[in-house]
Structure 1
Amino acid sequence: MSVDGDARTALAQQLRQLRDSHWPDLRVTQAQLSAAFRVSVPLISSWESTHTIKIPPLQRLEKYAAFFATRRSLSNGTARVLPLSEMTPEEAAEHQRLLDELTRLRKAALRFQAAGETAEAAPAQDAFREGPLHFADREPITIICSQVPENDRLKIPYSSPETPDYIELYKYSDLDSLFELHGHLRAANPRSLVTLRAPEDLRSDDLTTHLVLLGGVDYNQVTASMLARIELPVRQVADWVSEKGPYFEVNEGDDTRRHYPVTGGSGDNLRLLEDVAFFYRGVNPDNVERTLTICNGMYARGVYGAVRALTDERFRSRNAAYLRRRFGTAESYSILTRVRIEGPVVVTPDWTLDSVRLHEWSEPTHGD
């Protein structure tokens, strides 16, 4: 497609055409897509508008491709998105064809989204806007970061509001991860409000935005609460008393496995050689039109590794592409991963390597 004004509307026109005439004898309504995608009808309408351009995120285009890949999306009078695992080879090929076309149109449209953005700058921006840390335009995002326990906080200089040099950020326990993630979210979602909260500072509307949780079940009560509400085969056990220490436990049928961090030395010479990190993405249980993302680890450097997997410019596109290939249109999925520590350095995990991934899980989208 040439770089001209048509690129602004081509994607919207294609989405409307899919709905109106993809199947000549069957017209799909916006209400049916709304039910299948679990989003509002006005949002579907905004993606089809050629007047006020609103470009859908890539994960929504994946749902479009899956929906229109098979007429079974409308079988039994219920609109739904079939998981890729249930598609025939012919349906899977049609899904890939549609996704390739919609992705191409989206990339062209993105070049015109921001005022003054040049065609040369667009490829760098695309890397931000195609991963799971990019959300629909102007939808609010809330980071809830784990916090240092109050008794430990009292030992940190300038952490008390009573001191003239009070630094509020000292109450957060995953500052490396927070610094990295906050900057990436702002860059990937320039039109969205990104709010930072500690669990002790939550407000009534925070939990119904796109939620991004940093930190484990011991220092982040919201992480503990959300994981307790989600049926996952992975559980974090903060056992800091026993000899082996804390671990992630995976339960699949009769098989139970524990994944421990790797340490060297003991006592004051204890060193972390490899942490275990957990990444989860699913529907926000308090607002089905928003998402829940969790970056977790047994130690702070595991949390940082989970974040860097999707922010490190050398790995974020590769890891995001792996998530799309592996989980397709799944609403909820997770990865348990190794995070290697080299001295003081956290090595970004490459999820395309089998040796890095400890466990993967996804929930089929049967209810869509």
Structure 2
Amino acid sequence: MNESALARRLRELREGRWPDVRITQAQLRDAFGISVPLISSWESATAPKIPPLARLEKYAAFFATRRSIANGSARVLPLPQLTADEHAQYRMLLDELKQLRNAALRVQSGGVSPRGGAAPGEDEHLDGPWHFADGEPITIICSTVPPEDREKMPSHSPDSGDYIDLYRFNDLDSLFELHGHLRAANPNSLVTLRAAEDIGSDDLTTHVVLLGGVDFNEITKAMLNEIEMPVQQVPDWNGEKGPYFEVSDSNGVRRRHHATAGEHDHLQADVAFFYRGANPYNNRRTLTICNGIYARGVYGAVRALTDERFRDRNAAFVRERFGAAKAYSVLTSVRLTGGVVVTPDWTVDAFRLHEWPEPADAP
């Protein structure tokens, strides 16, 4: 028998967590928004699949409270709605399931950590916001450098033997950082790079990642027009303070967030925008936007969830803060020191300029 302790525990939770009621796989399907065969594969006694960490978080939240099956329907309550006792149950269940998952991963990889000897749990970034279901295609869509600026580059013509196609893309730092992370976190998925001017219809119905703002990336502009949210990027390059992000809070108050400059107009802090929600052209896939007033802000938005020193804590912040929200965004300050971008720590209030949805206790 190849049954894992994790598969057995998931089945035990479903069948015996509450002795007077037995949860069906169909109820978990409805609560988690996934298929019954996928749930069955996680519980298999002969060839169990290992669920991603995000799914185990839903298990923990679901079985932390009987309110998950109140009124005859199955649902996962957002973490902010859990009581103190329910939240304690959530943490206990999640810690247990994570340990069982790490053990299953070690067995699957022949008795060693999937990262070649790393400590248990260090691979968990692969289940963060940048990890998608196996085999689902991902498309990164970038803006390109304007032709008049491209002509100033060496070997800018495709006819040159030294021509480098990547030179035509904006936000190369962000692209290089993100492309490698997406490939590592999704080894069985096709990760495709497209220029905003070169996309085809099939590119827009994958998991879409947009790099760059509305002034250079027409796809970012088009996608944002499809989304109802309180954050707007305004490319006011001729204004007194330049371009900005404008936020409308729940009370109708509008606030502008500008980049800040220091001596000799050197950039001190940019503003970055991270958004995750359903793809408006295919609601079974996601849309992610990494945006900034300048390229430094785009890079900060990317690094928040790829930097090995901060990605786990920022991913944990997202899970704790937004729970099962279908869409969320973080507007954050990106500081520069000595011309170097400092990765924003979303667990520190001073970095976060705005969060959506707003906390339930927001003024």
- Partners of 1:237 and 1:246 within 8 A in 2: yes
2:350 equivalent to 1:352: no
User: Could you tell me which amino acid in structure 2 is paired with residue 146 of structure 1?
Assistant: S
2:307 equivalent to 1:309: no
SS in 2 for 1:23: coil
Alpha-carbon offset, residue 124 of structure 1: 7.1
Alpha-carbon offset, residue 259 of structure 1: 0.6
- Counterpart residue number, 1:159: 156
Kindly report which structure 2 residues correspond to 1:275-314, keeping only aligned pairs within 5 A, or say none: 275-314=270-309
SS in 1 for 2:182: helix
User: What's the TM-score once normalised by structure 2's chain length?
Assistant: 0.89
What does the per-residue CA deviation read over 1:301-340, in whole Å, with 9 as the maximum and x for residues that have no partner?
1111111111112222222222222223323222111111
2:195 equivalent to 1:195: no
- Counterpart residue number, 1:10: 5
2:40 equivalent to 1:45: yes
Alpha-carbon offset, residue 150 of structure 1: 3.5
Alpha-carbon offset, residue 182 of structure 1: 1.0
Say if 1:77 and 1:202 are closer, same or farther in 2 by CA, change over 3 A.
farther
SS in 2 for 1:293: strand
Alpha-carbon offset, residue 147 of structure 1: 2.0
SS in 2 for 1:338: strand
- Partners of 2:79 and 2:321 within 8 A in 1: no
CA distance in 1, matches of 2:202, 2:119: 33
Alpha-carbon offset, residue 97 of structure 1: 2.1
Match of 2:259 among 235, 255, 261: 261
2:130 equivalent to 1:129: no
CA distance in 2, matches of 1:294, 1:112: 36
- Partners of 2:127 and 2:185 within 8 A in 1: no
CA distance in 1, matches of 2:198, 2:119: 37
Kindly report which structure 2 residues correspond to 1:85-164, keeping only aligned pairs within 5 A, or say none: 85-114=80-109, 117-118=112-113, 120-123=117-120, 125-164=122-161
2:60 equivalent to 1:65: yes
CA distance in 1, matches of 2:65, 2:10: 16
CA distance in 1, matches of 2:203, 2:21: 41
SS in 1 for 2:193: strand
CA distance in 2, matches of 1:201, 1:112: 44
Alpha-carbon offset, residue 114 of structure 1: 4.2
Say if 1:106 and 1:330 are closer, same or farther in 2 by CA, change over 3 A.
farther
SS in 2 for 1:205: helix
CA distance in 1, matches of 2:146, 2:197: 11
User: Could you tell me which amino acid in structure 2 is paired with residue 234 of structure 1?
Assistant: V
Say which is worse superposed, 331-340 or 72-81, in terms of deviation.
Answer: 72-81
CA distance in 2, matches of 1:331, 1:283: 7
CA distance in 1, matches of 2:327, 2:358: 5
User: Could you tell me which amino acid in structure 2 is paired with residue 352 of structure 1?
Assistant: T
Alpha-carbon offset, residue 127 of structure 1: 4.1
Match of 1:336 among 331, 334, 338: 331
- Counterpart residue number, 2:232: 235
User: Could you tell me which amino acid in structure 2 is paired with residue 284 of structure 1?
Assistant: N
| Unaligned stretches of 5+ residues in structure 2 | none
- The size of the alignment, in residue pairs, is 356
2:20 equivalent to 1:22: no
Say if 1:91 and 1:300 are closer, same or farther in 2 by CA, change over 3 A.
same
Say if 1:63 and 1:124 are closer, same or farther in 2 by CA, change over 3 A.
closer
Alpha-carbon offset, residue 50 of structure 1: 4.2
What does the per-residue CA deviation read over 1:336-367, in whole Å, with 9 as the maximum and x for residues that have no partner?
11111123211111222211111112389xxx
SS in 2 for 1:331: coil
Alpha-carbon offset, residue 226 of structure 1: 2.0
SS in 2 for 1:275: strand
User: Could you tell me which amino acid in structure 1 is paired with residue 23 of structure 2?
Assistant: V
Alpha-carbon offset, residue 130 of structure 1: 3.7
Match of 1:204 among 201, 206, 228: 201
CA distance in 2, matches of 1:347, 1:329: 29
User: Could you tell me which amino acid in structure 2 is paired with residue 187 of structure 1?
Assistant: A
Match of 1:184 among 175, 181, 185: 181
Which structure's relative contact order is higher, taking Cα pairs within 8 Å and 6+ residues apart? 1
User: Could you tell me which amino acid in structure 1 is paired with residue 165 of structure 2?
Assistant: E
User: Could you tell me which amino acid in structure 1 is paired with residue 261 of structure 2?
Assistant: T
Q: Aligned-pair RMSD on alpha carbons?
A: 2.4
CA distance in 2, matches of 1:159, 1:115: 49
CA distance in 2, matches of 1:214, 1:51: 43
2:83 equivalent to 1:83: no
CA distance in 2, matches of 1:98, 1:124: 16
User: What's the TM-score once normalised by structure 1's chain length?
Assistant: 0.88
Say which is worse superposed, 224-233 or 243-252, in terms of deviation.
Answer: 224-233
Alpha-carbon offset, residue 218 of structure 1: 1.5
Match of 1:223 among 220, 223, 229: 220
